[in-house]
């Protein structure tokens, strides 16, 4: 039976993933349990949430007063946080250096990156936070990578198209993430069997200039095309990088919305970034809780409206690029 989890559940689940303390996680879990539908399709999920709450209460009792922040807790900035993960020498660091122009350590030998390193990637009118990570393989287990990914808004998997074992290496990462209840997927479904966290993921095939790239790509597509969108690039030849940025934006499923004041021009500088499917209510809540409390209606210019300046209610679903004029009581 489908779980049919409501948007408020997903919002609470995101707060749980991003929480840094047991107390914050418990609060989010309790809200998730309170708002979820209660039927056979959510029996296992309800039990998992109760088990997580009990575990976190025990941790809170045992934890010392002063806690160190783990290295995988990176402050989120920009439109979203996206770890870039892959096996040795796949070109993760080179890709990040190319699309962010940050000073990222790049070398021909494996395991150059030792810890998480954030860098900002510009895309049109927003900035997306990419995080370089250590190579992950059977020989080098990065135990905290699932925890970093659990908190993220999306994930990028980088495969080496010059390596005949690329398919196996990506499968290793996908399987070991799933063993830690982090499911990498192209699109997130409302149907849940347990307490897994689903992270929208883009698979990137790098080194498309390699002589054997076509065959390796075919194997990756055979194994993963039904699970992930796949983007092909050549960082060494600077090809496919704009397509990579667009593909990542699409996977993140976010909506950029601009605002304007009555009688004035729209502020087309930095947009408000919301999850796809967000409403006027969600926009008002993001701006300020007082605006939400006194919201009367909105006027709208953009793809989600039938005509310019259309009057809409707070449940109107917004589209990317919409301009919204909020009216309060």
Give one DSSP letter per residue of 64-77, joined into a string.
-SS-PPPTT-----
Average pLDDT over residues 309-326: 95
Task: Evaluate if residue 46 carries a pLDDT over 90.
Answer: no
Distances (CA, A) of 153 to 131, 143, 186, 243, 254: 12, 19, 12, 19, 10
Length of the chain, please? 329
Q: How far apart (Å, rounded) are the C-alpha atoms in residues 233 and 211?
A: 14
pTM: 0.76
The DSSP H or E segment spanning 260 is: none
Architecture of domain 81-252: 3-Layer(aba) Sandwich (3.40)
Mean pLDDT highest for which of 13-17, 39-43, 113-117, 127-131? 127-131
Average pLDDT over residues 179-195: 78
Task: Evaluate if residue 252 carries a pLDDT over 70.
Answer: yes
Q: Which has more pLDDT, 35 or 193?
A: 35
Domain 255-328 in CATH 3.10.20.30? yes
Average pLDDT over residues 124-130: 95
Q: How far apart (Å, rounded) are the C-alpha atoms in residues 278 and 270?
A: 18
End-to-end CA distance of the chain: 43
Q: How far apart (Å, rounded) are the C-alpha atoms in residues 130 and 83?
A: 6
* 50-74 pLDDT tens trace: 888 888 887 777 655 545 667 667 8
Strand-strand pairing, 295-301 and 323-328: antiparallel
Q: Which has more pLDDT, 125 or 25?
A: 125
Q: How far apart (Å, rounded) are the C-alpha atoms in residues 215 and 212?
A: 6
CB atoms within 10 A of CB 206: 28
**Could you give the residue range(s) of every CATH 3.40.50.300 domain in the chain?**
81-252
Lowest mean pLDDT among 107-121, 202-216, 315-329: 107-121
Lowest mean pLDDT among 30-44, 131-145, 184-198, 258-272: 184-198
Q: How far apart (Å, rounded) are the C-alpha atoms in residues 235 and 206?
A: 7
**Could you give the residue range(s) of every CATH 3.10.20.30 domain in the chain?**
255-328
Q: How high is the pLDDT of residue 104?
A: 63
Q: Which has more pLDDT, 194 or 198?
A: 198
Q: Which has more pLDDT, 104 or 199?
A: 199
The DSSP H or E segment spanning 252 is: helix 241-252
Task: Evaluate if residue 269 carries a pLDDT over 70.
Answer: yes
- Mean pLDDT over the full length of the chain: 87
């Amino acid at each position: 039976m489908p779980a049919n989890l409501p948007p408020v559940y997903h919002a609470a689940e995101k707060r749980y993933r991003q929480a840094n303390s047991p107390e914050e996680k418990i609060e989010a879990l309790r809200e998730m349990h309170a708002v979820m539908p209660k039927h056979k399709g959510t029996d296992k999920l309800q039990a998992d949430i109760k088990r997580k709450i009990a575990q976190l209460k025990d941790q809170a009792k045992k934890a010392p007063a002063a806690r160190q922040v783990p290295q995988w807790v990176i402050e989120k900035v920009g439109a979203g946080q996206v770890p870039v993960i892959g096996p040795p020498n796949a070109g993760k660091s080179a890709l990040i250096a190319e699309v962010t122009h940050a000073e990222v350590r790049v070398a021909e030998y494996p395991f150059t990156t030792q810890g998480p390193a954030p860098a900002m990637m510009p895309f049109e009118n927003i900035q997306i936070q990419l995080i370089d990570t250590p190579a992950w393989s059977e020989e080098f287990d990065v135990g905290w990578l699932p925890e970093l990914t659990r908190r993220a808004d999306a994930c990028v998997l980088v495969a080496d198209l010059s390596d005949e074992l690329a398919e196996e290496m990506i499968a290793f990462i996908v399987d070991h993430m799933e063993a830690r209840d982090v499911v990498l997927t192209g699109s997130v479904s409302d149907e849940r069997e347990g307490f897994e966290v689903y992270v929208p993921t883009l698979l990137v095939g790098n080194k498309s200039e390699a002589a054997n790239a076509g065959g390796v790509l075919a194997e990756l597509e055979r194994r993963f095309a039904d699970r992930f969108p796949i983007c092909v690039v050549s960082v060494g030849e600077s090809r496919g990088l704009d397509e990579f940025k667009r593909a990542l934006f699409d996977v993140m499923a976010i909506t950029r919305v601009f605002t304007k004041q009555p009688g004035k021009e729209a502020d087309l500088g930095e947009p408000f970034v919301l999850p796809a499917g967000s409403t006027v209510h969600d926009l008002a809540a993001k701006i300020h809780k007082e605006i939400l409390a006194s919201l009367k209606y909105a006027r709208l210019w953009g793809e989600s409206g039938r005509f310019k300046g259309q009057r809409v209610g707070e449940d109107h679903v917004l589209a990317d690029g919409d301009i919204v004029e909020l009216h309060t009581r």
